[in-house]
Amino acid sequence: MYKRRNMLGGAAAATAGTVAAASSFPKPAIAQSMPEIKWRLTSSFPKSLDTIYGAGEVFAKAVAEATDNRFQIQVFAAGEIVPGLQAADAVENGTVECCHTVAYYFFGKEPTFAIGAALPFGLNTRQQFAWLEMNGGGQLYDEFLAKFNMKGILCGTTGAQMGGWFRKEIKTTADMDGLKFRIGGFAGKVMQKVGVIPQQIAGGDIYPALEKGTIDAAEWVGPYDDEKLGFYKVAKFYYYPGWWEGGPALHVFINKQKWEELPPAYKAVLKHAAQHSTIETMARYDAQNPKALRTLVANGAQLRPFPQEVMEACYKASQEVYAETTAASADFKKLYDSVVAFRADEYLWWQVAEYTFDSFMIRAARARS
């Protein structure tokens, strides 16, 4: 018993000594590298769109969890701080630390913005990711964004989008002439070549514009989001594909000074959190779009492919716009040339395995139905 008490007493004394000694040490390096930080993120999307707006929330939650809540990012919907189409401006001028958006919204500032998101007849989803993450595209894009005091991180995708909702059927290219079409960024410039009058309208304002006849057609994302916004109630013709968004990437744009102030550990956390959000967002769209598409058709939506004539006319128009834009913008040319070269290599592979497999499986599924 005596020995046991002696041992316990010695252990207690040793513990007390250790605690006393530890209290005199400087704070651990890990605490110094994980300061408490609070940022604001302004989204370009309304809260009602839980998938695309939710990608920003998934990102912020992952950052908080990875840092034991020492790095907190509060997410604000479009309009709560600034309108959705001014999100990048708020980051550039330091009104907020970061935003979650789709970069082609800022095509008017400089056409090169669109390349980080999607180009008409550009890359599909996986190709866009590969170009940004593995083929130097992300580095080229960051060099461009630095001119606007921003750093970009890939954070989500919708997958290939739909061609949108039309109040009248589109049978020929002539039906596009004079059409007031809600369409954003670079695609609007292409559409102008075939007679369309493009309108850039934030997501939350599309339905009333379509309902009142202020616009004749509108594109947004795809079945899941489109059902939530109720477009089928005011325009029944639902076209595909959205050739201007074969694989649009979403981004978190971060004020460059705020990014450079972060410890390396926090920079890594932001990148990993964004990757997590990208995977989850794509999976949610893939899981939810089929059911939503069935519901839309059951509610009267008339599903239509764009006529081949229209597709070919728009493709030709896009090449004209690319020639004009590369001649006018050295930044655009630098990134666009990289995309085109990468796309050529990718489709050498895609036609061998990916396209062949998917085409067979689609035929097999139809044969069983």
Query: Which two structure tokens, joined as six digits, stand for 71?
Result: 């790095």
Residue 176 has pLDDT above 50, yes or no: yes
Alpha helices in the chain (DSSP H): 2-23, 29-32, 54-66, 87-92, 125-134, 137-145, 185-192, 206-212, 223-229, 256-261, 264-298, 308-328, 330-350, 354-368
Q: Are 261 and 329 in contact (CB under 8 A)?
A: no
Residue-range domains of the chain with CATH: 35-159+247-287 (3.40.190.170), 164-244+306-344 (3.40.190.10)
13/365: higher pLDDT: 365
pLDDT range class, residue 328, cuts 50, 70, 90: very high
34-66: b (≥16 Cβ within 10 Å) or e: beebebbbbbbbbbebbbbbbbbbbbbbbbbeb
Query: Which two structure tokens, joined as six digits, stand for 39?
Result: 């940022």
What pLDDT is recorded for position 32? 60
Residue 154 has pLDDT above 80, yes or no: yes
What pLDDT is recorded for position 311? 98
Residue 78 has pLDDT above 60, yes or no: yes
Which residues are bridge partners to 165 per DSSP?
A: 218, 238
pTM over 0.75: yes
**CA distance linking residue 80 with residue 203, whole number of Å:** 14
pLDDT digits (tens, 9 = 90+) for 79-105: 999 999 999 999 999 999 999 999 999
Cα-based angle 277, 260, 156 (whole degrees, multiple of 5)? 15
pLDDT range class, residue 30, cuts 50, 70, 90: low
Which of 206, 357, 224, 346 is closest to 281 using CA atoms?
224
Residue 367 has pLDDT above 50, yes or no: yes
pLDDT digits (tens, 9 = 90+) for 179-201: 999 997 789 999 999 999 999 88
Which residues are bridge partners to 199 per DSSP?
A: 182
Residue 15 has pLDDT above 50, yes or no: no
DSSP 306: P
Mean pLDDT of 247-263: 97
**Span of 25-34, 271-280, 330-339 with lowest mean pLDDT:** 25-34
- By percentage, how much of the chain surpasses pLDDT 90? 87
Residue 157 has pLDDT above 60, yes or no: yes
Q: How far is CA 289 from the centre of its chain?
A: 17
Residue 25 has pLDDT above 70, yes or no: no
**Mean pLDDT estimate for the chain:** 91
Range 200-208, long-range pairs (CB < 8 A, 24+ positions): 200/85, 200/105, 202/44, 202/78, 202/83, 202/84, 202/85, 203/44, 203/45, 203/46, 203/49, 203/78, 203/84, 203/229, 204/46, 204/48, 204/78, 204/79, 204/84, 206/182, 206/231, 207/231, 207/234
Q: How far is CA 112 from the centre of its chain?
A: 16
Residue 1 has pLDDT above 50, yes or no: no
What pLDDT is recorded for position 203? 78
pLDDT range class, residue 353, cuts 50, 70, 90: very high
